[in-house]
Amino acid sequence: MAADPFEQVEDAPLFVVPRMLEALRSYRAGPKLADLPGPNPSPARERLASQLDYLSSTMIEGIEAHPTKFWVLKQFQQSLLAVEQEDAEAREHFGNELGRLLEIVGIDSSDGVVEYYLSRQ
């Protein structure tokens, strides 16, 4: 059995400011997965975008009450588990979108959590 990827996470406080919340709202309202090949809209794009919308909404609603890296990554974990049946290319693009969210909230690294779930088969 693989080790829990959260054992490697170095938790850190996040500084939630109005600009961050606005950026999350803009992300939620904006286009996602623009580089995912295939027709637009495609079923895969719709599934992944729906999961990203849900994730960003969860972050908007909860990050002020839980301003930590660990909490954000736990939210990512739920979304990563929800998309683990997608093909490898779709998961890679999903991971790129998670990278955008990490930048918005000021997290430099997922400490291997995103990579762990994206590489699972």
pLDDT, one tens digit per residue, over 46-92 is: 999 999 999 999 999 999 999 999 999 999 999 999 999 999 999 99
Phi-psi sector, 31: left (phi>0), alpha (psi -120 to 50), beta = beta
Q: Which of 70, 80, 54 is nearest to 110 (CA)?
A: 70
Q: Give dist(CA 55, CA 49) in Å, integer.
A: 10
- Name the residue ranges covered by the structural domains of the chain: 15-29+40-118
Is the model more confident about 113 or about 3?
A: 113
With cut-offs at 50, 70 and 90, classify the pLDDT of residue 2.
low
Cα separation, 59 vs 16, whole angstroms: 11
**Has residue 1 got a pLDDT over 50?**
no
Residue 35's pLDDT is what? 86
Note the CATH number of domain 15-29+40-118.
1.20.1480.40
What mean pLDDT do residues 28-38 have? 90
Banded model confidence at residue 41, pLDDT cuts 50, 70, 90? low
Say how far apart CA 106 and CA 1 lie, in whole Å. 32
Provide the whole-model pTM. Answer: 0.93
pLDDT-above-70 percentage for the chain: 97
